[in-house]
């Protein structure tokens, strides 16, 4: 059992919310962000191959739903370090009983939580405030030829986005629907 993190199971097997133990005082707080030994509990036993940082300027923007195809599928830990987002993971493991089910979690800089996304999931988010920054930890290197995109508005997934969409890339908006 971890002393620095609380791993909370979601309704989808393998997908977890991670709450960091924030040690607070008058100056602010301190928390452990990642620990390879403790994250083994979740199945994150590979080394970190890549870390990415994104800024999304406008409230209501959607980024996603992105994934890497096998053999380059990846485990991800997603954290909001400024602002607030509605973070979403979609199970795209065809053999899974929760295939095409989605889970959404509000992540914010103040909340001190992350979403652990295992192999076989698409990921995206909608900003709930302006100027949102996310930090992503990846178990694999990004391979452009292995990238896939689900349409964030596909009725077969039926994600309930909390806000009207203000911004979205053409690639994400025009990605194909599931057959």
Residues involved in catalysis = 66, 136
How far apart (Å, rounded) are the C-alpha atoms in residues 33 and 77?
Answer: 10
8-31: b (≥16 Cβ within 10 Å) or e? eebebebbbbbbbeeeeeeeeeee
- List the structure tokens of 134: 């996310």
CA–CA separation, 104 vs 65, rounded Å? 12
Tally of helices (H runs) and strands (E runs) in the chain:
2, 13
142 CB-near residues (< 8 Å, 6+ apart): 50, 68
Nearest Cα to 115, choosing from 147, 142, 89? 89
């Amino acid at each position: 059992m971890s002393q620095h993190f609380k791993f909370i199971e979601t309704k989808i097997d393998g997908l977890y919310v991670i709450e960091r133990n924030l040690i607070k005082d008058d100056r602010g707080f301190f928390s452990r962000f990642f620990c390879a030994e403790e994250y083994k509990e979740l199945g994150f036993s590979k080394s970190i191959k890549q870390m990415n940082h994104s800024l999304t300027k406008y409230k209501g923007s959607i980024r996603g739903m992105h994934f890497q195809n096998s053999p380059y599928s990846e485990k991800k830990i997603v954290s909001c370090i400024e602002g607030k987002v509605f973070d979403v993971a979609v199970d795209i493991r065809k053999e899974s009983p929760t295939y095409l089910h989605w889970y959404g979690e509000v992540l914010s800089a103040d909340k001190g939580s992350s979403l652990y996304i295992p192999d076989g999931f698409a990921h995206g988010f909608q900003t709930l405030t302006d100027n949102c920054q996310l930090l992503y930890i990846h178990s694999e290197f990004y391979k452009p030829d292995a990238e896939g995109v689900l349409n964030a508005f596909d009725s077969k997934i039926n994600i309930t986005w909390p806000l009207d969409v203000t911004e979205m890339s053409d690639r994400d908006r025009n990605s194909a629907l599931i057959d």
